[in-house]
Amino acid sequence: MKKVINQLVVITICGIFIASCQSSADSPTDTPPAVTDGKSIESSEATSLKDALKAAKTGEYVAPTAEALHKAEALFLRTLKGEQSVDLQNAWQTQSFTMQTLTHNGTDFTVVQEAEGKRTGRGFYAFRQKESLPIALQAPHSYKDLYTGKIASLLMEEGNYVVAGWNTVPRNDADMAHREDTIFQTLGRAFAYQYPTGTIVQLHGFAQGKRKTTAGKTADLIFSGTTRAPSQRVLDTGNCLKSKLIGFEVRIYPHEVSELGGTTNSNAKDLRERGFNRFFHVELSKPLREKLREDKQVRGQLSACLQ
Model pLDDT for residues 164-193, shown as the tens digit of each residue: 999 999 999 899 999 999 999 999 999 999
- 132, 160 contact by CB (below 8 A): yes
Q: What is the CA radius of gyration of the chain?
A: 25
pLDDT of residue 287 exceeding 60, the answer is yes
Cα dist from 169 to 66, 98, 189, 257, whole Å:
20, 18, 21, 30
* Confidence tier at 12 by pLDDT (50, 70, 90): very low
Give the whole-number percent of the chain exceeding pLDDT 90: 79
CATH fold, domain 42-306, is Aminopeptidase (3.40.630)
Is the CB of residue 299 less than 8 Å from the CB of residue 154? Answer: yes
Which pTM does this prediction carry? 0.85
Q: What is the DSSP letter of 104?
A: E
**In the prediction, which pLDDT does 301 show?**
98
122 half-sphere exposure, CB direction, 13 A CA radius: 26
